[in-house]
Chain A
């Protein structure tokens, strides 16, 4: 068998490049992470979550800080969503969570809005800790219901002047832009 060092070099390069490709595909594109910047689990209960899925983004001011860990039905028939966010995040206990849609038909995500930190603890304002529940929540806006409401309004107010029309339109654009 003719085994030249050149051949060994080629095989070594091939295996190395192949393994590097697998690693790149798994980590950079596939999003495989050992742990990652999660660690703080908080709970939020919504009336309506629309199309919110596991692993949906959780953002503060548009910056991703975590993801949705699980969605379950609470005993009072509301949706109980567990969020996995960066454990370094210090959110005041009066923060609020709302489900928003990116774009008109895009994915749904959860936006956290830090509160004013009014609730004082022993040392300074109190922050959300693991397992805490966010008190102030706003569920998803369901487009079909809005349209249904709009049609109802238009139907009942068809004889009225244009004022009610613009009112209904205004309501949509107001809620849609949230």
Chain B
């Protein structure tokens, strides 16, 4: 490949990236505008919360207990070396509330609900249901996109908080019931260490931001999918990949900006 062709490929790639980002921004603004329109699609929102929130409950709760239990074991193992094993509650709680709860929930929900959301919209496009809606002069963004996105945004902080609580419970199971730590010091170190404004509010903010990211990426990928069976699977795959990476990268910036 000649240097000129290489440079050309680089330029084309950069332009495509910028074009994609621009499309994504315009799509997001249109989605917000469609969501703000009357009539409110209350029943549609309810159904979508059932799909992305309620149906994610089991996976989120089980993963929460498992992650909390592992944190309990590992934290105990580390803290014993410093003779500080009574601080297990603080270690488990702070890691979950500030970091693991929102991030892991976002990854799980992107995999479970985000991919399903993108695939559903993409197959609606493939089977020309979206065109059917347009023929009846119903905006698909308003009828399909906005309820799905708002359901995801509403569900994510709730799911993240449940993950955190189940994780704290899992850490309690291992640290207190299995390893025989002191129940009182587990809870009191937890309560002493956690501050609302620094830890809990930061975790909730993360959950909200991740919810917005996953919702926008999943609906964008769905609406812009190629109308083919390969396009549907590509939409689901790229939603999981992009949403996961976006979660992890934005997590660093939220953490840095929140002033930890």
Chain B residue at minimal CB-CB distance from A3: B43
The count of A-to-B residue pairs whose CB atoms sit within 8 angstroms is: 78
Q: Which of A1, A17, A30, A31 contacts B43 (CB 8 A)?
A: A1
CB-defined contacts of B142 to chain A, threshold 8 Å: none
CB-defined contacts of A22 to chain B, threshold 8 Å: 157-158, 161, 204
CB-defined contacts of A7 to chain B, threshold 8 Å: 46-47, 50
Q: How many residues of B contact A (CB 8 A)?
A: 31
Q: Which of B53, B161, B195 contacts A11 (CB 8 A)?
A: B53
CA distance A55 to B53 in the complex (A): 37
A29 CB-CB contact with B under 8 Å: yes
Q: How far in angstroms is the closest Cβ of chain A from B26?
A: 29
Q: State whether A26 touches B196 (Cβ < 8 A).
A: yes
B99 CB-CB contact with A under 8 Å: no
A14 CB-CB contact with B under 8 Å: yes
A162 CB-CB contact with B under 8 Å: no
Residues of A1-39 whose CB lies within 8 A of B: 1, 3, 7-8, 10-11, 13-15, 17-19, 21-22, 24-26, 28-32
CB-defined contacts of A29 to chain B, threshold 8 Å: 93, 97, 168, 190-191, 194, 200
B91 CB-CB contact with A under 8 Å: no
CA distance A19 to B53 in the complex (A): 13
Knowing that A25-B161, A29-B191, A31-B194 touch, tell me 14 more A-B residue pairs with CB under 8 angstroms: A3-B47, A10-B50, A10-B54, A15-B49, A18-B157, A18-B158, A21-B161, A22-B157, A25-B165, A29-B93, A29-B200, A31-B195, A31-B196, A55-B195
> What 5 A-B pairs are tightest by C-beta distance, nearest first?
A18-B158, A30-B196, A30-B200, A32-B196, A21-B161
